[in-house]
Amino acid sequence: QVQLVESGGGWVQPGGSLRLSCAASGSIFNINVMGWYRQAPGKQRELVAGITSSGSTNYVDSVKGRFTISRNAAKNTVYLQMNSLKPEDTAVYFCNAVPPRLSSWGQGTQVTVSS
């Protein structure tokens, strides 16, 4: 029943930053783990960051130290702060539960990192 809408993507040069937002139309309080996924052209969707209801976080090695996932329970929103962006970060970014719920996939938001 939860619908998720991603926003905040865009184009940046290498080394730049973006902050993605994931707004939920339904409460996500009962979802133990929320995450950010990304899908680059020709590649499978991968989980890059996750956050538990208690605030614990995990990241795929390729983004560790550069990306920060956070949540604001009052706003029912999950964020992904992306710093020191690299061309290989170019992808469509999605948010969803971990493991993902098929009915909750949104359109994603495009992130393009290039010179």
pLDDT at residue number 12: 98
How would you classify the pairing of strands 18-24 and 67-72? unpaired
What is the rounded average pLDDT of the residues 66-81?
A: 94
pLDDT tier at 87, thresholds 50, 70, 90: very high
Q: Is 80 exceeded by the pLDDT of residue 94?
A: yes
Give the position of tokens 């605030």: 55
pLDDT digits (tens, 9 = 90+) for 17-62: 999 999 998 777 778 899 999 999 999 999 999 999 999 999 999 9
